[in-house]
Structure 1
Amino acid sequence: MILAAWTVTAGTVLPAAADTDPRGYLTKMKAQEMWKVADGTGITVAVIDSGVKDLPGLEGRVLPGVSFMEPPLEHPDKPYPPHEDFVGHGTTMTAAIVGDGSAGGPQGLAPGAKVLPIRTSVGTPMAFAVVPEAAHGLRYAADHGAKVINLSLGAFPGWPSDEIKPAVEYAQSKGALIFAAMGNDAEQDNYTNVVASLPGVIGVGAVNDDAEPMPFSSHGPDTDLSSVGGKVWRRCNDNTIWCVRDGGTSYATSLASAFAALVWSAHPDWTANQVARVLIQTAGAPVDGAKRNDWIGYGVARPRKVLLDHEGDPGAPNTDPLAAPAPAKAPSPSAKGTDAAARRTEAADAKSGSVPWKWLALGAGIALSLGITVLIKRLRR
C-alpha cells in the first residue's frame, strides 16, 4: 500500500498515537494551535446518520435537527426523534466533530461548530429506506444552513445513484460541501460508496497512524482524501458506553468534515469549491511521487497547512477542483513503502478515522413480495 507524506517541520518527528491515547491525532495535527486561528465557529455541519444521543460532551453543540427515519411496517406511526440513537454511529460522528472530550468521549476537531443531526434508518432492519431518507436529509440540510454535509454511511451495495444524485446536486446548488465515506469493504468485495462517485463529492478513505492505508478501507478512483481510521473513542454496546476501537472510513469522514469547518470558519467568504481545493492542495500526497492514488486519494488532509502555514490557493469560486482529477496511479497492496521507522518520520500530521460499518442485503418473504430489499448492519470491527 502507498504511504502519504505527513510532514510537520524540518527535523521534527512526532510519535504515532498509542492505543492507550486514541486522541493522539489532535497533537499530531496541532489542534491546539489551529483552534487559536479557527475552531469552526459559524459553521453548521449536517450529520446524516443514525441520530445523536444527548451526552454531557455534546451539550450546546447540537441543533434540534430532524428525523426522516422510516418507522417499522408494524408500527407506521411510531416517531423517532433525531436526538435518539440506537446504535451510536451518529453519536460517534457528532462527537468527533464537536465533542468537548468529557465523559470519555472524543474531543471534536471543530469544537466551535454546530452539528445538525439528521436521523435515518442506519443500524435498523428498516435500513432499506436509507437512500430516500438520505436524499431528504441532503435537501433539509441545505435548506437549514449546513455548509458541510457528512455522510459516514459507507458502501451500500446497489445504492441507486439516480435517486441520490438530484439531492446531492440540490445541496451543492445551495453552497454545501459534501463528504462521503468510501466504505470498509476492501478485504472482501471492495464496495465503494456511490455517493463519492458523484461530481463535487469528496470521497474519504482511512489510513493508520503511519499514514498507511487501512486494509479494510474501500478504495478506487473516487477516493479524494483520507484521514486516520485507527484506534479512536466511539460508542459501543448499543450506544451505552465509550470504547476504543478502529475508526474506519466513517470516522475519517467526520474528521474531514471537521477540517472543512475549521478552514471555512477562518475563511467565511470562500465557497465550497475553494475549501475543497485548498484541502486537496495541502494534503500529504503519496510518498512515491504520485499526485494521487486509489487508496488515499490526493493524500491525508492537513488543515494546519492552511490555517497555520497559510498554504493553498483557493482559486476560482465556481470551479469544481475535482472536475478533471489526475489519473490514478494504481497502488500495489504489497508496496509498504519504507520501514516502520521511516514511516513514522514521514507521518507527522495525522487525522482521524471512522467507524467500520457494513451492510448486508437480505431478502425475506415479505420483503420480496413488497419488492423491498432489507439491509441489515454488520459491525466489521
Structure 2
Amino acid sequence: MPEYLTKVRASQMWKVADGTGITVAVIDSGVKDLPGLKGRVLPGVSFMEPPISRPDEKYPPHDDFAGHGTTMTSAIVGDGSGGGPQGLAPGAKVMPIRTSIGTPMAFGAIGESAKGVRYAADNGAKIINLSIGGWWSLDKMRSAVEYAQSKGVLVFVAMGNEGDGNKSANPIAGLPGVLGVGAVDITGEPLPSSSYGSSTDLAGFGGKVPVRCKENTAWCVQDGGTSYATSLASASAALVWSAHPDWTANQVARVLIQTAGGPVDGAKRNDWIGYGIARPSKVLIDRAGDPGAPDTDPLAGPAPVKTPAPSADPTAAAPRREESAAARAGLSWKWPALGAAVAVALGLGIAVVVKRRRR
C-alpha cells in the first residue's frame, strides 16, 4: 500500500466506509477502461466537441487521449493493479465526463466542463472533481457550480501547479462554496509547484505517484500535483459521505475542514494548505468533527474553529520552506498549458486570481 494511504489509515477506514453509495463525477479527459477500474466506472458522458473539419467524429467518455482523467479516476477508485494507484475510496463509483482536455481543442474545455457540472448534478453525482482550470467561460462555470450546489453537490477544484513563488491560483477555486485543494509531499510540506492563495481550503498528497504516461499506454511515477491532491480530497469526501449518507454537502465539507491536519505553527489556515491536509480517518475512526448546520456553507461564515494538529502528527502540514532545494537548482514541475484557455493537473498553469468571497 502506498505510504500516503498508510498515513491516513486507509485499511482501518475501509472497515467503516469505503465510499459505497457515493458517485464522484470526474470532469476531465475521459477514462480508459483498465482492468484496475473494472466495475468502478459508470457509463458517463462526453461533451467534447468535434473539430469543424470532422463534425461527425465521436469521442466516447470511456476513452482518453491524455491519460489525465484515467489517473484521477484511478486515484479515487482504482484497485492498485497493473502499476496503477490504489484508490482512496474503492467502493465509490466514478462518473466520467469527458472534455477536450489534452487535445488541440482544449480552449473549449472549461465551457464543456460547465456543461459537465450541470450533467453531474442532474444525474446522481454527490461530488464533482475538477482537476482542471482556466479562465475562459468562467461565467458559465460560475452559474453551473451554483446550480450544482443548489442540488446539494460538493465541488472540489485543483489550485494549480504554477507555484514556485508565484501566487497564482485557479480562478475556479475562487468561486463561492468551491473547495480549492493544494498539494503536499509525504512529509506534509507544500509542493513547490503548488499554486496558493486565499482560495486554498484543503490540501492532499500530490508527490510521487503513478500517473498515466506514454500516450496513456503505461504508468509512470511522477509528481501528481494539485490534480492528484484534489482527487484524494474528493475521495476523502466520498468516504465521509458513505459513512454519513444523511449529511449534506455543507456538513461533509465542514467536518473535513475541522479535522484537517493544519499548519504546525497553530494557525487556523494559510494560503498554501488552507485549513490543512484532508484526514477522513479523523471522522471515520476517531469520530471527530461536528457536522453543524446542514444549510450553512462552512466557507461563507467565520473561519471554522478547530484544534491545531500537533507537530508529531504525520498528516499535519509542515511549514513552507522559503525556497526549496529544487527551486534553487532551477528545476521546474510546470507542464505547458494545453490550448490557450486551459491547463491541467500535472501542470495546471493559471495566470488569473479571483478572490474568494466570504460572507
Give ranges in structure 1 of 5+ residues lacking alignment.
Answer: 1-20, 328-341, 363-373
Candidates 201, 211, 214, aligned match of 1:237: 214
Alignment of 1:1-381 (within 5 A): 23-153=2-132, 155-156=133-134, 158-187=135-164, 189-326=166-303, 345-348=312-315, 358-359=336-337, 362=340, 380=347
Q: Distance in 2 between matches of 1:24 and 1:151?
A: 25
The alignment partner of 1:165 has SS state of helix
Structure with the greater alpha carbon radius of gyration: 1
Cα deviations across residues 246-302 of structure 1 (Å, max 9, x unaligned)? 110000000000000000000000000000000000001111111100000000110
Q: Distance in 1 between matches of 2:112 and 2:123?
A: 16
Question: How big is the alpha-carbon RMSD for the aligned residues of Structure 1 and Structure 2?
Answer: 2.2
Q: How has the CA–CA distance of structure 1 residues 325 and 79 changed in structure 2, closer, same or farther, with 3 Å as cutoff? A: farther
Letter in 1 for 2:202: L
Structure 1 residue 375, shift from structure 2 partner: 5.4
Q: Distance in 2 between matches of 1:295 and 1:375?
A: 22
Aligned identity (percent) is 70
Q: Distance in 2 between matches of 1:310 and 1:142?
A: 29
Structure 1 residue 102, shift from structure 2 partner: 0.9
Structure 1 residue 211, shift from structure 2 partner: 0.7
**8 Å contact 2:29–2:101 — kept in the other structure?**
yes
Cα deviations across residues 18-71 of structure 1 (Å, max 9, x unaligned)? xxx7x2111111100000000000000000000000000000000000000021
Q: Distance in 1 between matches of 2:178 and 2:346?
A: 25
Aligned to 1:368: none
Q: How has the CA–CA distance of structure 1 residues 189 and 287 changed in structure 2, closer, same or farther, with 3 Å as cutoff? A: closer
Letter in 1 for 2:268: K
Aligned to 2:326: none
Structure 1 residue 357, shift from structure 2 partner: 5.3
Q: Distance in 2 between matches of 1:102 and 1:285?
A: 32
Q: TM-score w.r.t. structure 2 length?
A: 0.87
The alignment partner of 1:206 has SS state of strand
**Bigger mean CA offset, 64-73 vs 269-278:** 64-73
Letter in 2 for 1:60: G
**8 Å contact 2:26–2:69 — kept in the other structure?**
yes
Aligned to 1:331: none
Letter in 2 for 1:299: G
Letter in 2 for 1:297: G
Q: How has the CA–CA distance of structure 1 residues 69 and 307 changed in structure 2, closer, same or farther, with 3 Å as cutoff? A: same
**Bigger mean CA offset, 270-279 vs 208-217:** 208-217
Q: TM-score w.r.t. structure 1 length?
A: 0.82
Structure 1 residue 347, shift from structure 2 partner: 2.3
Q: How has the CA–CA distance of structure 1 residues 324 and 356 changed in structure 2, closer, same or farther, with 3 Å as cutoff? A: farther
**8 Å contact 1:185–1:358 — kept in the other structure?**
no
Indicate the structure whose relative CO is greater, using CA pairs within 8 Å and at least 6 residues apart.
1
Letter in 2 for 1:265: S
**Bigger mean CA offset, 128-137 vs 180-189:** 180-189
